[in-house]
Amino acid sequence: MPPKKAVKEEKILLGRPGNSLKSGIVGLANVGKSTLFQAITKCSLGNPANFPFATIDPEESRVIVPDDRYDWLCEKYNPKSRVPAHLTIYDIAGLTRGASSGAGLGNAFLSHIRAVDAIFQVVRCFDDAEIIHIEGDVDPVRDLEIISDELRIKDIEFTEKALENSKKLTRRGGQSLEMKKLKEEEACIEKVLKLLQDGGDVRKGEWTVKEIEFINPLFLLTAKPVVYLINLSEKDYIRKKNKHLGKVMEWIKEHAAGDPIMPISICLEERLTRFETEDEVKAELKTLGVESALPKIITSMRKVLNLGSFFTTGTDEVRQWTIRNGTKAPQAAGVIHGDFEKTFIQAIVYNFASLKEMGDESEVKAKGKVMTKGKDYVVEDGDILLIKAGAAKG
């Protein structure tokens, strides 16, 4: 008999499943969060005032995901309707030392972070006598430690409560399968608690698939992916130098190795929004010899959320759809319409790279690059799909 095929354990991610994921802009008060929100969303929501807690309720906006593939497809098909991919971003009130025990906006602030799936952490590295710092002076490493400590302290509180509830259930004892699962869950929560008490973040822990299934319903703050945004003055951003950068990089390397770190000048990005046309913006950036950091920030966030795209194309509409990487064809079809997942028959698939290389669909087909795929096909980033589905039952 041939050897049995090894069953590949499906990777489960920390965090909520799904494609409609949200990112929150987080940081201490007066570090540039609301100004960044306005610049990145090109809207006047948010409240960039020069005092702590100017933003109380989180503002929400969707930003277009920059993608050359989508632009190329729109140019090719010149469709009546164009629908790019979006990323939802929240501007969250400034955190303060002691937030985990209710200081400042305290628990309300932390519940706003709990509601997002990933964090843009803004770290102030610019000096400006007119913009007060809640701690009195500019010290980015101290700020990083405050946020890290506050999120971890709150997670310890959440985890201790979860452990207490778990122990109430396991005290009953017994040998049932349900009890076995409860005991495994309790052991996992204890492991999470120890990591947090030792100063670790949940997203940096080593977890099995089963443990991740236990961790995800806890919605822990330190489980969320983080993109660090180092907010520089315009002058420092242009010259790519800042007196705080070395220490900031050292801190992140020690405490959050592997997390993306991106320099940005939020005051420059805000100034660029005042130009009336895109051409004027490009001319200004060319004069300064720099690029806007915003496109890269958006694509980096999609990457840490493990999001990818597929396209539907034609002269009626070109649309970019957002999925988690690793999504199978029926679930991708369900993003277009819920009924398509239930009645999925097959997907006609070719990748954008093949279309761009060969110029048109007939050439892609002639070269044998068009595939017919069933329910087990894992959609790749950049796939162009035509879904075939049956009629939905009434």
245 is in an annotated binding site: no
Q: What is the number of other CB atoms lying within 10 angstroms of the CB of residue 227?
A: 22
How far, in Å, CA of 360 to CA of 381, rounded? 19
Nearest to 204 by CA among 258, 281, 273: 258
Size of the chain in residues: 394
Q: Which residues have a Cβ under 8 Å from the Cβ of 263 and sit 6 or more positions away?
A: 230, 232, 237, 240, 242, 245, 293
Strands 226-231 and 261-264: parallel
33 is in an annotated binding site: yes
Strands (E), the chain: 22-26, 59-64, 81-83, 86-91, 118-124, 226-231, 261-264, 307-312, 317-324, 344-351, 371-373, 383-389
30 is in an annotated binding site: yes
Nearest to 292 by CA among 244, 238, 230, 246: 238
Largest CA distance in the chain: 77
DSSP state of 205: S
Q: Which residues have a Cβ under 8 Å from the Cβ of 249 and sit 6 or more positions away?
A: 261
272 is in an annotated binding site: no
Q: How would DSSP label each residue in 337-370?
A: -HHHHHTEEEEEEEEHHHHHHHSSHHHHHHTT--
Strands 59-64 and 86-91: antiparallel
First-last CA distance in the chain: 47
181 is in an annotated binding site: no
34 is in an annotated binding site: yes
How far, in Å, CA of 104 to CA of 106, rounded? 5
For residue 50, the SS3 value is coil
Strand partners, 311: 320, 384
Which CA distances in Å does 14 have to 2, 196, 218, 324, 362? Answer: 36, 16, 11, 12, 42
Residue numbering of the annotated binding site for ATP: 30-35, 232
Residue numbering of the annotated binding site: 30-35, 232
